[in-house]
Amino acid sequence: TKVSLPMSAGEWKQTFAKDGASIVSLLGIAEGLILEMISTRKSCVLSELVTELDEPSVITIMAVGVLMKEGLLKAKKSDDRILLELP
């Protein structure tokens, strides 16, 4: 399910009620997929990552933020794009 920001209350409920999973579970799954994708490719453009992952865009972006905060992912601006890489 792709969603846009800001999300309505209905979109939040639909996103986070996926198979009864908690937001922590959804973020953990997305984090693993992101790390796997970037370790395979060496880098990835944020917009492509959001499009390619089969997760809601808000979950993907939140997971990228968590990975960056934990120091497992870094971002740099490349032209008008955000390039994600492993540190």
Per-residue tens of pLDDT for the chain, all 87 residues? 454 555 566 666 666 665 566 777 788 888 999 999 999 999 999 999 999 988 888 889 999 999 999 999 999 998 889 999 999
Euclidean distance between the first and final Cα of the chain, in Å? Answer: 30
Beta-bridge partner residues of 78: 81
Q: pTM score, two decimals?
A: 0.75
Which one, of 43, 40, 28, 29, lies nearest residue 73 by Cα? Answer: 43
Which one, of 28, 24, 23, 27, lies nearest residue 13 by Cα? Answer: 23
Backbone angles phi, psi at 75, to 5 degrees: -125, 145
Report d(CA 77, CA 54) in Å as an integer.
Answer: 24
